């Protein structure tokens, strides 16, 4: 909601120099929280019993690790904690680094959503097969 409304809380500085915006911390918490909520919300992804569940569980653990590492990786890409990029020719802080930053930033929530969606679809197919066998 804060991102959609463009809240001034996102740009509020956490340090005296004004180099660490609150939005960076809020986003980092979100990058960790979304995949963790999927992990803790679906028991089959915590303790997988089938091949697909084991694959999805492993994939989700990679997404969780990327969520935890989002802040340090983003800092390395941008060279600052406000994650601003320029037209520099160098990689750090430049346009190539910005593309990697956005891939990471979109990839984490997309990966978490795809994982839970894939799990739900697998449940639909497993219920259909169970219902067909019982008929």
Region of residue 93 (left: phi > 0; alpha: psi -120 to 50; beta: else): left
**Nearest one of 6, 38, 36, 12 to 24, comparing CA atoms:** 12
Domain definitions of the chain by residue range: 28-128
The CA distance from 48 to 108, in Å, is 21
Q: Read off the tokens for 134.
A: 């019982």
Q: Read off the tokens for 120.
A: 């739900």
Phi, psi values for residue 7, rounded to 5°: -55, 145
Q: Using an 8 Å Cβ cutoff, are 109 and 34 in contact?
A: yes
pLDDT number for residue 14 = 81
pLDDT number for residue 135 = 46
Q: Is 10 helix (H, G, I), strand (E, B) or coil?
A: helix
- Tokens 């020719």, residue? 89
pLDDT number for residue 133 = 53
pLDDT number for residue 29 = 93
10-residue averages of pLDDT along the chain (135 residues): 71 77 89 96 94 96 98 96 90 95 95 96 80 51
């Amino acid at each position: 909601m804060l991102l959609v409304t463009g809240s001034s809380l996102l740009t509020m500085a956490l340090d005296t120099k004004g180099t660490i915006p609150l939005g960076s911390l809020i986003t980092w918490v979100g990058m960790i929280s979304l995949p963790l909520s999927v992990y803790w919300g679906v028991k089959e992804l915590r303790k997988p019993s089938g091949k697909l569940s084991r694959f999805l569980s492993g994939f989700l653990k990679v997404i969780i690790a990327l969520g935890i590492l989002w802040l340090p990786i983003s800092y390395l890409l941008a060279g600052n904690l406000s994650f601003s990029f320029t037209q520099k020719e160098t990689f750090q802080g430049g346009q190539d680094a910005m593309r990697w930053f956005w891939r990471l930033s979109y990839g984490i929530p997309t990966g978490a959503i795809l994982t839970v969606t894939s799990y739900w679809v697998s449940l639909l197919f497993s219920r259909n097969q169970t219902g067909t066998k019982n008929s």
